[in-house]
């Protein structure tokens, strides 16, 4: 017998089905959502639902949802501690001083990525060609010119500001 509902990676609400969510609410099962993102840019340039969308629907139906991940700062703090201690250990093994550590969080969601980085006092790079592309006047897949004025306008509407912004991030 299930005691929790798990909103996993890249599930679509249609696949889970609202009847499953309603049954979970009726049984008073808490939902654990390990990724609060509600939308993601899929490889083909379209937007897809993420686990946070399922969790939001579950909460709307009256269910209890426990969220982990962005924008909560806990995983940012854990990552910073891991990197900092690793660099310090490397420096100690070579008898050199540890270099200053700087972090940059890259993401396309103002509500999750950039808010999380801001909460954790980490610099951020907002990717405008992601889930906010249409709000920034960019085409599907982020095509077009990212205009600084539109980025500032969107950040003002949302109330979250990135340190830096770019149209795309290509590795």
Q: Is the pLDDT of residue 128 over 90?
A: yes
51 and 114 fall within a common domain:
no
Task: Report if residue 171 sits inside a domain.
Answer: no
Counting the structural domains of the chain, the total is 2
Contacts 24+ apart (CB under 8 A), 49-55: 49/10, 49/11, 49/12, 49/13, 50/9, 50/10, 51/7, 51/8, 51/9, 51/10, 51/11, 52/7, 52/112, 53/13, 54/7, 54/11, 54/13, 54/16, 54/21, 55/7, 55/31
**Which residue range(s) make up the domain with 30?**
5-67
39 and 90 fall within a common domain:
no
45 and 91 fall within a common domain:
no
29 and 82 fall within a common domain:
no
Name the pTM for this structure: 0.73
The reported pLDDT for the residue numbered 9 is 40
30 and 78 fall within a common domain:
no
pLDDT (tens digit per residue) in 65-118: 988 888 888 888 888 899 888 888 888 888 788 778 889 999 999 998 999 999
79 and 98 fall within a common domain:
yes
pLDDT (tens digit per residue) in 11-49: 444 545 678 889 989 999 999 888 888 888 777 777 777
């Amino acid at each position: 017998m299930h005691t929790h509902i798990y909103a996993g990676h890249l599930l679509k609400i249609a696949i889970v089905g609202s009847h499953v969510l309603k049954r979970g609410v009726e049984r008073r099962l808490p939902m654990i959502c390990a990724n609060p993102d509600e939308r993601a840019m899929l490889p083909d340039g379209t937007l897809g639902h993420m686990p946070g969308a399922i969790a939001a629907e579950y909460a709307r139906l009256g269910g209890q949802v426990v969220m982990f991940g962005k924008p909560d700062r806990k995983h940012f703090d854990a990552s910073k501690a891991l990197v900092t201690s690793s660099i310090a250990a490397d420096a100690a093994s070579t008898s050199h001083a540890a270099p200053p550590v700087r972090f940059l969080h890259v993401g396309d969601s103002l509500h999750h990525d950039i808010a999380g980085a801001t909460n954790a006092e980490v610099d951020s790079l907002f990717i405008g060609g992601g889930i906010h592309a249409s709000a920034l006047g960019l085409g599907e897949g982020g095509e077009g010119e990212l205009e600084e004025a539109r980025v500032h306008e969107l950040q003002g509407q949302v109330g979250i500001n990135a340190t830096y912004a770019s149209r795309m991030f290509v590795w």
